[in-house]
Structure 1
Amino acid sequence: MTIKELPEEERPREKLISLGASALSDTELLAILLRTGYKGTHVLTLAAQLIQRFKSLDGLLSATPTQLKALRGLGNAKATELSAILEICQRVLSEKLSEQSAINSPDATCRYLQLHFRGRHREEFACLFLDTRNRVLALETLFQGTLDAAPVYPREVVKRALELNAAAVIVSHNHPSGDPQPSQADIRITETLKKALALLDIRLLDHIIIGKGETLSLVEQGLM
């Protein structure tokens, strides 16, 4: 069954036109993008199944084209279109955050970093380089690792900070397991980085760990 076969008052598209996009549920918005379900399954049911499969819209944003194509009801064309739409959404969000004049709150920093690490299945270590007014100079992944570890070399962090003429740095890494609690190794490398950067009058403002839907700031935890 398609959206057109629903009574008009139940059609997400008509509801959006009359009430605005904010009046629609996640399922209804996704149904508009999908357009049709598959034999015996209504498009709204398919949309609900997708959100349930990936646990949330945020989880769906992290889905790869291969993961989407593997699901019943999503052929190559529909999976490709949905993947393109999801990528556009991520890029728009990223642009909005990067256009801010300054990273001036923990929440803004965490949102920026969550976008950067979305969909990463291996541990990575990234640095957010800032100028004297806390404006973003660059956000770069400097080290990549395995499912549960990534090697970090303070010399490379310092070198890149000097190249960018950064006045401050926020470091971050993800925990693919989902638990953002820091290990003793995380705390030790933070202290090492702080001391190495301080020698060149570069401030280490925070170390933020990205879990699944959760973030943890070592500054807020009193760990640096």
Structure 2
Amino acid sequence: MHSPITEWPKHEQPREKLRLYGAKALTDAELLAIFLRVGVKGKSAVSLAHDLLHQFGNLPRLMTCKPTEFIQVHGMGLSKWSQIQAAYELVKRSLEEQLGQESVFSSPSQVKEFLQAKIGALPHEVFLCLYLDSRLHLIECQELFRGSITQTAVYPREILKEALSRNASALIVAHNHPSGNPLPSEADQELTKILFKALQLVDIPLLDHCIVSGSGFFSFSDSGLMKIEPK
């Protein structure tokens, strides 16, 4: 692993392995090494990639790390951090664009993948609104509120105003739990009821409330919690 990649057997070199067998055949470290491009004296790009994954624990934390944290790893600089950030942003934009071209119900996993990529690894809590048109295609994903590591102040009136201004026909809301536990709190359940009923008044259905963490995902709709009975 520490010898230059050019000295490895051809079929074991990350770029050649990707070409022969496809991206899924590569480990996280091998994929990361392709972006790093070169190693440093005594370490291949794959070895450096292993160092990064060890330092940050997993890919989501690596992708959302600050440049000051990244460059603390030997052999890493702002150029490599920028390359990884650019690749990560392309993934998020690609997933968001797909949601704009297809109904959110044609591939529910795309919503999950998009939300996990966008907010799953953030160290602070954010609240997103996904505004949908009459075909349930994404009009826009908006970060509407941002809070501390424990809570976000969410104002239903603002959500209604933003949804109406975009002529949204339906809505999905989402927020993250930096604690790592995606299960809804009592406050999350109460907020969902308030939003559901408020949006009903303007004939905009709330289709789902998703909670995302670094390694977990919870959907109110999938769990049957969107069947809210009027009082």
Q: Structure 2 length as normaliser, TM-score?
A: 0.85
Distance 1:223 1:159, change over 3 A: same
Q: Which residue of 2 is the match for residue 44 of structure 1?
A: 46
Unmatched tracts of structure 2, length 5 or more: 227-231
**1:166 aligns to 2:168 (yes or no):** yes
**Alpha-carbon spacing, 1:31–1:203, altered in 2? closer, same or farther (3 Å):** same
Other-structure match for 1:187: 189
Which segment is superposed worse, 20-29 or 159-168?
20-29
- 2-structure distance, mates of 1:5, 1:180: 45
2:216 alignment counterpart: 214
* Number of residue equivalences: 223
Q: How far has the Cα of 1:85 moved from its partner? A: 3.2
Is the CA contact (8 Å cut-off) linking 2:124 and 2:148 kept in structure 1?
A: yes
2:103 is aligned to: 102
What is the alpha-carbon root mean square deviation over aligned residues? 2.2
Which sits farther off after the overlay, 127-136 or 17-26? 17-26
Q: Is the 8 A contact 2:129 2:173 kept in 1?
A: yes
Partner residue in 2 for 1:69: 71
Q: TM-score, normalised by structure 1?
A: 0.87
Helix, strand or coil at the partner of 1:128: strand
Contact 1:3–1:35 under 8 Å retained in 2: no
Q: Is the alpha carbon distance of 1:2 and 1:197 closer, same or farther for their aligned partners in structure 2, counting shifts above 3 Å? A: same
CA 1:188–1:28: 2 relative to 1, 3 Å: same
| 1:55-106 Cα distance to aligned partner (Å, 9 max, x none) | 33344333333332221121333333333333333333433x2343211143
Closer, same or farther: CA 113–77 of 1 in aligned 2, 3 Å:
closer
Contact 1:180 1:214 in 2 (8 A): yes
Deviation at 1:7, TM superposition (A): 4.0
Q: CA deviation at 1:115?
A: 2.8
Flag structure 1 segments of 5+ consecutive residues without an equivalent: none
| 1:129-153 deviation line (CA, Å, top 9, x unaligned) | 1122211122111111111100111
Distance 2:11 2:137 in 1: 47
* CA–CA separation in structure 2 for the residues paired with 1:77 and 1:135: 36
Worse overlay, 177-186 or 58-67:
58-67
One-letter code aligned to 1:165: N
